[in-house]
């Protein structure tokens, strides 16, 4: 049987990321991004090998973007496209694994839209456009939340009245599940351990950041909660604050819910603390010239990350390794080193040379002698979505 090809689609409200994944190739034969969908500046950009191309699709929406992408994907796949995998943010308690799309699944994604009002409707637009354009192709959905459905109730329940959980689905769900699942499996392969008999602390550090405790291939706890705002300091998100903060701001400054929401999601995190940028690269440069805000943002980021990892350790019977991934986790030796300094109590220590070597997609072990294992593992959510799709096709 020739190697199969899966088109992976990640739809936002005005953007669509895509990648063609071939099961026997390490790199994507085609990948790209459609942006500013629905506006006169709508555009699709893609890359095949080293060749980059752009096509304007004025006022084009998701369907027009997919109409431009399909012939490309078919051509690059040599006419053999085997399926489509869609990323969906929220599966609520209805979805504990990836699944083939049918009417009941579409209804389930719609039913969970109240938990992710910005994301699920956008994901649905992409799915419906793809189904209309490629009716003969099997299509699969992969949920960010599904991996965390294995968490025990004492990890996912908030200490608030029960009816909020029973009647209004208020609980911790967790996100980045596809990434946590992918990198913990890769870490087990790298150390030649069975996935179903290994325990990991994982730090996914990108624009959004979360930690996860993975036991025998299942999530036992994670730092994000009902929404992706809970937990770590992120690019522009605050992570944990006193839950009474918004009451305080309402009482003292007269802020509305929208103002509080905007401040916590878009004006906080590294950006809010540094007063400079949400981008860790910019903060590293500013740190070198002694920028006080950048220094504070870096220190708070690393300390809060270490504190979260120490908390996640409660969910593990043992630690086979600590895994760093995501744009910051895969590239910032400084963040890894500083975070590990706060985890001395677990005997974690980094080897400076190995730490410096693991950047720009280089995977490896970075622990010093005598320390539990510390791994840098590049994440690849597109490949995990393609793997899930292939498994369901089988």
Nearer to ligand AMP, 66 or 183 (CB): 183
Q: Interface with ligand AMP by CB under 6 A: which residues?
A: 206-207, 235, 279-281, 284, 326-328, 331-332
For the purposes of burial, counting CB atoms within 10 Å of the CB of 54, is it exposed (0-12), middle (13-18) or buried (19 or more)? exposed
Cα separation, 231 vs 283, whole angstroms:
21
Distance in Å, CB of 270 to ligand AMP, minimum: 7
Nearest to 210 by CA among 335, 350, 326: 326
Sole residue written with tokens 């937990």:
231
Structure tokens at 284: 């590293």
Structure tokens at 138: 């099997």
Distance in Å, CB of 324 to ligand AMP, minimum: 11
Nearer to ligand AMP, 177 or 327 (CB): 327
What radius of gyration, in Å, describes the C-alpha atoms of the chain? 21
Sole residue written with tokens 């916590």:
264
Annotated binding-site positions for Mg(2+): 10, 381
Cα separation, 235 vs 206, whole angstroms:
8
Cα separation, 330 vs 379, whole angstroms:
8
Nearer to ligand AMP, 55 or 284 (CB): 284
Let me know the angle formed at the C-alpha of 214 by 113 and 101, rounded to the nearest 5 degrees: 35
Nearer to ligand AMP, 85 or 378 (CB): 378
Distance in Å, CB of 89 to ligand AMP, minimum: 15
Sign, Cα dihedral of 326, 303, 147, 372: positive
Distance in Å, CB of 328 to ligand AMP, minimum: 4
Nearer to ligand AMP, 332 or 355 (CB): 332
Q: Is 242 an annotated catalytic residue?
A: no
Cα separation, 327 vs 206, whole angstroms:
5
CA–centroid distance for 192 within its chain: 25
Distance in Å, CB of 105 to ligand AMP, minimum: 27
Which residues, in sequence order, are bridge partners of residue 258? none
Render the burial of 118-145: b for 16+ CB within 10 Å, e for the rest: ebbebbbbbbebbeeebeeeebbbbbbb
Return the residue nearest ligand AMP (CB atom).
Answer: 327
Q: Are 301 and 334 in contact (CB under 8 A)?
A: no
Cα separation, 159 vs 251, whole angstroms:
24
Annotated binding-site positions for ATP: 17, 204-208, 279-281, 327-331
Q: Are 379 and 327 in contact (CB under 8 A)?
A: no
Nearer to ligand AMP, 128 or 285 (CB): 285
Distance in Å, CB of 371 to ligand AMP, minimum: 23
Q: Which is catalytic among the residues 82, 94, 144, 388? A: 144
Distance in Å, CB of 364 to ligand AMP, minimum: 16
Annotated binding-site positions for substrate: 87
Nearest to 320 by CA among 377, 238, 358, 236: 377
Nearer to ligand AMP, 5 or 10 (CB): 10
Active site residues: 144
């Amino acid at each position: 049987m020739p190697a199969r090809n899966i088109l992976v689609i990640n739809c936002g409200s005005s953007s669509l990321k895509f990648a063609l994944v071939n099961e026997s190739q390490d790199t994507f034969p085609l990948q790209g991004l459609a942006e500013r969908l629905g506006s006169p500046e709508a555009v699709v950009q893609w890359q095949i090998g080293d060749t980059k191309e752009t096509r304007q699709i004025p006022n084009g929406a998701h369907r027009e973007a997919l109409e431009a992408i399909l012939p490309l994907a078919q051509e690059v796949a040599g006419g053999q496209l085997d399926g489509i995998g869609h990323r969906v943010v929220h599966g609520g308690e209805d979805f504990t694994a990836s699944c083939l799309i049918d009417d009941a699944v579409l209804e389930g994604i719609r039913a969970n839209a109240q938990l992710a009002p910005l994301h699920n409707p956008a994901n649905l637009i992409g799915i419906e456009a793809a189904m209309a354009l490629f009716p003969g192709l099997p299509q699969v959905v992969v949920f960010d939340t599904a991996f965390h459905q294995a968490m025990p109730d004492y990890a996912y329940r908030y200490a608030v009245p029960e009816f909020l959980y029973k009647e209004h689905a208020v609980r911790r769900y967790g996100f980045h599940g596809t990434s946590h699942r992918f990198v913990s499996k890769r870490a087990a392969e790298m150390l030649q351990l069975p996935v179903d008999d290994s325990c990991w602390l994982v730090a996914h550090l990108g624009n959004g950041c979360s930690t996860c405790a993975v036991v025998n291939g299942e999530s036992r706890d994670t730092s994000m909660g009902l929404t992706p705002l809970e937990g770590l300091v992120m690019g522009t998100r605050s992570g944990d604050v006193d839950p009474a903060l918004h009451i305080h701001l309402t009482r003292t400054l007269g802020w509305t819910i929208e103002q509080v929401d905007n401040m916590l999601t878009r004006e906080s995190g590294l950006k809010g603390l540094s007063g400079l940028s949400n981008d860790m690269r910019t903060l590293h440069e500013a740190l070198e010239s002694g920028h006080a805000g950048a220094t504070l943002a870096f220190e708070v980021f690393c300390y809060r990350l270490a504190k979260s990892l120490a908390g996640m350790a409660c969910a593990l019977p043992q630690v086979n390794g600590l895994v760093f991934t995501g744009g910051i986790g895969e590239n910032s030796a400084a963040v890894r080193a500083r975070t590990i300094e706060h985890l001395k109590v677990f005997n974690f220590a980094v080897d400076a040379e190995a730490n410096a070597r693991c950047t720009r997609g280089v995977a490896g072990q970075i622990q010093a002698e005598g320390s539990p294992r510390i791994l840098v593992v590049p994440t690849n959510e597109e490949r995990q979505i393609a793997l899930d799709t292939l498994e369901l096709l089988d």
